[in-house]
Amino acid sequence: MSIQKRVLVTGAGGFIGHHLVRRLKADGHWVRGVDIKYPEYEASAADEFEIQDLRKADCCLLATRGGMDQVFNLAADMGGIGYITANHADISRNNILINAHMLEAGRQNGAKRFLFSSSACVYNQAKQKDPDVKPLTEADAYPADPEPGYGWEKLFAEELCRYYYKDYRFETRIVRFHNVYGPLGTYDGGKEKAPAAISRKVALAENGGEIEIWGDGEQTRSFMYVDDCVEGLIRIMASDCRDALNLGTDELVTINGLVDMVSAAAGKRLKKTHNLTGPQGVRGRNSDNSLLRSVVGWEPSIRLEQGLAITYKWIESEVRKSPKYAAQLRGLATV
Reference 17, options 183, 161, 235, 230; nearest CA is 230
DSSP state of 279: -
CA 161 vs CA 5, 24, 175, 207, 299: distances in Å: 22, 23, 11, 49, 24
Query: Catalytic residue at 123?
Result: no
Helix, strand, coil shares of the chain, percent, nearest 5, are 45, 20, 40
Other CB atoms within 10 Å distance of the CB of residue 233: 25
- Report whether 225 contacts 288 (CB < 8 A): no
CA 148 vs CA 81, 86, 160, 194, 242: distances in Å: 11, 10, 18, 19, 25
Sign of the torsion formed by the C-alpha atoms of 281, 282, 288 and 292: negative
CA 309 vs CA 42, 200, 303: distances in Å: 21, 13, 10
Residue 45 amino acid letter: A
Q: Which of 123, 150, 164, 225 is catalytic?
A: 150
CA 138 vs CA 111, 135, 175, 301: distances in Å: 26, 10, 10, 20
d(CA 22, CA 177): 19
d(CA 80, CA 271): 23
Q: Which residue stretches of the chain are H helix? A: 15-26, 57-63, 81-86, 88-108, 150-168, 194-203, 226-238, 255-266, 290-296, 304-321, 326-333
Residues in a beta bridge with 253: 221
Please identify every residue annotated as catalytic: 150
